[in-house]
Amino acid sequence: MSDKLASLADGILHRTVSAAGGAPGVVAMATDREGNIYEGAAGKRELGKDQAMTTDSVMAIFSTTKAITGVTIMQLMEEGKIRLDDPVRKYVPEIASIQVLDGFDASGQPRTRAPRRDITINDLLLHTAGFCYEFFSHDDLKYRSAKSIPTVVSSTFDSIKTVLLHEPGERWTYGVNIDWLGKVVEQQRGKRLGEVMKERVFEPLGMVDIAFTMSGTMAERRATIHDRAMDGRLTPLPELVLPQPPAMDMGGHGLYSTVGEYMKFIRMFLNDGAGPHARVLSADTVNAMSRSGLAAGMLSGGWTTSIPSLSNDGEFLPSVRKTWGYTFQINEEDAPTGRPAGSLAWAGLANLFYWIDRKTGIGGYWGSQILPFQDVSSYAGYVEFETAVYRSLRP
């Protein structure tokens, strides 16, 4: 850890948790190809309590789960068990009943029709199938309400049997796609997704404190999710925990982890698929995952909230062209933080953010537990942190 980076990053974490309206607690880490070059924590696991946020604190990592599920799918592809252009109904027949939304009638009931073609594995990996989330789409939320479909945080199969907002392949729409891919993995491996991840990702990378169902020691170190009200006030929500154990291992959002465990996953990508104990992916597959898979002219953009208590409106790097790979957002131009074009990144609902810069050999993760998404304090701190990492690399 360089003194320059430690000084810059420590200051950012301190400001993030100590400023009026700041985050309750934050863990941030950065790594090169060999190991972590910065580890820091600040604040509390829960406001009003004495437990400090520590580098081994456990968090609900929400959509940063997605890339791990993506790896288990690409492993199946490497083994020839699936093809990316396969129709998903070949493995998960229930997806064949999903319809395209064609509006609502005068009584608020949805009108639907069959999609013009099958949803493929490729569509799900790229978020082009037409699925969305209830908190990013008023139409998806209205459809769920009309059909009594449970929220995705219920961690049930029924929660992803929603509706397509457009034809498969028509555009990029972020949603429950990766949860369906988790079902493909389970069908092919004959095991729960969490078991597959443990055998084929976690153990080869030496990842221990990560699971859909927390161990006892993980639960003892869990950081509490907080709600930020419209006036900026933060309230702890200690009872807000994803189902333990879940009815379904949600490949799109269900894991609990420490930031340190996720750094091992990031390093695997920096090392072209190799882990300390075994290779997880081939270098060719990592290269394929790091390229845009979207059609020419199609971009990955921002989002509009339909449930303000869960997410603010927003977009990452709004001045930068962004596309999507398997399963990351890719900035096609250099970012103002110093992150070069072609890097990989994504985030989790409770204000967790990461990036993987294979060109420079640097990655990082910023973890907090706050709703709604793209929090005014935590997200700003993350951008500062990423910028500080690149500043510290300069002579």
> Residues 42-85: pLDDT tens digits?
999 999 999 999 999 999 999 999 999 999 999 999 999 999 99
- Assess whether 160 and 193 both reside in one domain: no
- The per-residue pLDDT for 277 is 87
> Is residue 91 assigned to a domain?
yes
Q: Which of 10, 30, 9, 1 has its CA nearest to residue 263?
A: 30
- Assess whether 225 and 89 both reside in one domain: no
- Assess whether 277 and 299 both reside in one domain: yes
> Is residue 182 assigned to a domain?
no
What would the pLDDT profile of 184-230 be if each residue is shown by its tens digit? 999 999 999 999 999 999 999 999 999 999 999 999 999 999 999 99
CB atoms within 10 A of CB 331: 23
Q: Which of 228, 257, 272 has its CA nearest to residue 365?
A: 257
What would the pLDDT profile of 353-395 be if each residue is shown by its tens digit? 999 999 999 999 999 999 999 999 999 999 999 999 999 998 7
Check if the beta carbon of residue 266 is closer than 8 Å to that of residue 365: yes
**What is the value of pTM for the model shown?**
0.97
What would the pLDDT profile of 115-135 be if each residue is shown by its tens digit? 999 999 999 999 999 999 999
The last residue of a domain, from among 177, 202, 218: 177
> Which of these is catalytic: 63, 311, 368, 392?
63
Number of domains composing the chain: 2
- The per-residue pLDDT for 395 is 76
What would the pLDDT profile of 343-361 be if each residue is shown by its tens digit? 999 999 999 999 999 999 9
174 is known as an active-site residue: yes
- The per-residue pLDDT for 2 is 83
Check if the beta carbon of residue 6 is closer than 8 Å to that of residue 38: yes
Q: Which range marks the domain in which residue 376 is found?
A: 3-75+187-393
- The per-residue pLDDT for 1 is 59
Task: Indicate if the pLDDT at residue 161 is higher than 90.
Answer: yes
> Is residue 125 assigned to a domain?
yes
* Burial group, residue 26, by CB count within 10 angstroms (0-12, 13-18, 19+): buried
Confidence class for position 271, pLDDT limits 50, 70, 90: very high
Q: Are strands 100-104 and 58-60 parallel, antiparallel or unpaired?
A: unpaired
Mean pLDDT for the chain?
A: 97
- Assess whether 58 and 88 both reside in one domain: no
66 is known as an active-site residue: yes
- The per-residue pLDDT for 133 is 97
CATH of the domain at 335: 3.40.710.10
- Assess whether 61 and 93 both reside in one domain: no
- Assess whether 64 and 88 both reside in one domain: no
- The per-residue pLDDT for 367 is 98
> Which of these is catalytic: 66, 142, 183, 264?
66
- Assess whether 145 and 205 both reside in one domain: no
- Assess whether 127 and 89 both reside in one domain: yes
Report CA 350 to chain centroid distance, whole Å.
10
The last residue of a domain, from among 152, 177, 202: 177
> Is residue 14 assigned to a domain?
yes
- Assess whether 133 and 12 both reside in one domain: no
Which phi and psi angles does 204 have, rounded to 5°?
-60, -25
- Assess whether 312 and 348 both reside in one domain: yes
- Assess whether 210 and 310 both reside in one domain: yes
Which phi and psi angles does 319 have, rounded to 5°?
-90, 0
The last residue of a domain, from among 115, 146, 177: 177
- Assess whether 161 and 19 both reside in one domain: no
